[in-house]
């Protein structure tokens, strides 16, 4: 079976994606209510009961709000590191079927090899994920996906994971100028967003991608766009100029309101 990858939500409306390969269906992050996630999964032709696992990057609500609702499926495993579990559990009445992984240590689930790696962000132990699956044969070609949202800068190790992925999901959180001019956010919050443990701006992400030589990308998804401090047109204009875009790989912008993907 070919891979099916669908981003279900992005940014402040909640982040989540469905990854299906070799008969396994998993969620990466679960940042909307369980009900909403169930609905979105149904739209993908999948009942929530048929989910095999949920993988969480960090405890922020826009990545974990669905844990409560989805934990009613008692056997459904939720993979997270210890610090993330400790931050989420007090907000829950029941204990979900937690599966603990260690940041930096590879593990397997179904057809997937998963490498959780540390990212600099203002959470307890935030991670990005690198998923690998398939063999080197015609029916199950080897493939990979990197999920890297919510980070203030890109350390070398993270860059290497980004480089290797065939499907890359990375944030383009804000336009630096729009964040600067924003009237709603206090200065302290602006400082946090653009700080070393905040979020990547359009320029940060563009420069990082430009600096990577020999990437394996087939598809690049730009997500976690701020609704107030970013603009799809601006992202489109900027990333249309990305070296290799349209020839070596295709780039898509994830609309923060509808989660629809818009080709650059």
Q: Which residues bind Zn ion (CB under 5 A)?
A: 60, 62, 150
CB of 149 to Zn ion, least distance (A): 6
User: Concatenated DSSP letters for 27-63?
Assistant: EEEE-S-HHHHHHHHHHTT--GGG--EEE-S-S-HHH
CB of 139 to Zn ion, least distance (A): 36
CB of 60 to Zn ion, least distance (A): 4
CB of 18 to Zn ion, least distance (A): 18
CB of 199 to Zn ion, least distance (A): 8
**Choice between 76 and 151, CB closer to Zn ion:** 151
**Choice between 58 and 161, CB closer to Zn ion:** 58
Cβ-proximal residue to Zn ion, closest one: 60
**Choice between 52 and 122, CB closer to Zn ion:** 122
Distance CA 109, CA 254 (A): 27
Distance CA 201, CA 153 (A): 9
**Choice between 21 and 154, CB closer to Zn ion:** 154
Opening angle at CA 98, ends 97 and 101, nearest 5:
150
Residue where the block lists tokens 């875009």:
245
Q: Give the count of alpha carbons within 13 A of 93, CB side only.
A: 3
Where in the chain does DSSP place strands (E)? Answer: 4-9, 16-21, 24-30, 53-55, 77-80, 97-100, 107-109, 112-118, 127-133, 143-148, 167-171, 219-223, 250-254, 261-263
**Choice between 56 and 165, CB closer to Zn ion:** 56
**Choice between 133 and 221, CB closer to Zn ion:** 221
Distance CA 213, CA 216 (A): 9
What is the DSSP secondary structure assignment for residue 11, as one 8-state letter? Answer: G
CB of 123 to Zn ion, least distance (A): 6
Residue where the block lists tokens 């800068």:
153
């Amino acid at each position: 079976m070919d891979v099916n990858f669908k981003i279900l939500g992005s940014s402040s409306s909640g982040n989540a994606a469905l990854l299906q390969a070799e008969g396994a269906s998993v969620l990466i992050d679960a940042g909307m209510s369980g009900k909403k996630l169930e609905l979105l999964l149904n739209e993908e032709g999948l009942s929530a009961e048929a989910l095999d696992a949920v993988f969480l990057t960090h405890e922020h609500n826009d990545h974990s709000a669905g844990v409560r609702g989805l934990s009613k499926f008692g056997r459904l495993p939720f993979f997270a590191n210890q610090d993330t579990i400790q931050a989420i559990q007090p907000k829950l009445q029941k204990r979900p079927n937690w599966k603990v992984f260690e940041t930096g240590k590879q593990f397997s689930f179904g057809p997937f090899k998963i490498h959780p790696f540390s990212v600099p962000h203002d959470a307890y132990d935030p991670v990005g994920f690198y998923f690998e699956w398939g063999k080197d044969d015609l029916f199950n070609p080897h493939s990979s996906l990197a999920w890297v949202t919510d980070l203030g800068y890109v350390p070398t190790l993270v860059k290497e994971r980004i480089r290797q992925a065939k499907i890359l999901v990375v944030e383009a959180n804000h336009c630096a100028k729009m964040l600067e001019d924003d009237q709603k956010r206090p200065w302290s919050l602006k400082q946090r967003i653009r700080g070393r443990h905040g979020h990547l701006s359009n320029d940060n992400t563009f420069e990082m991608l430009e600096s990577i030589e020999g990437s394996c990308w087939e598809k690049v998804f730009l997500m976690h766009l701020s609704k107030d401090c970013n603009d799809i047109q601006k992202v489109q204009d900027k990333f249309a100029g990305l070296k290799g875009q349209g020839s070596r790989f295709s780039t898509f912008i994830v609309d923060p309101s509808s989660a629809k993907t818009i080709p650059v």
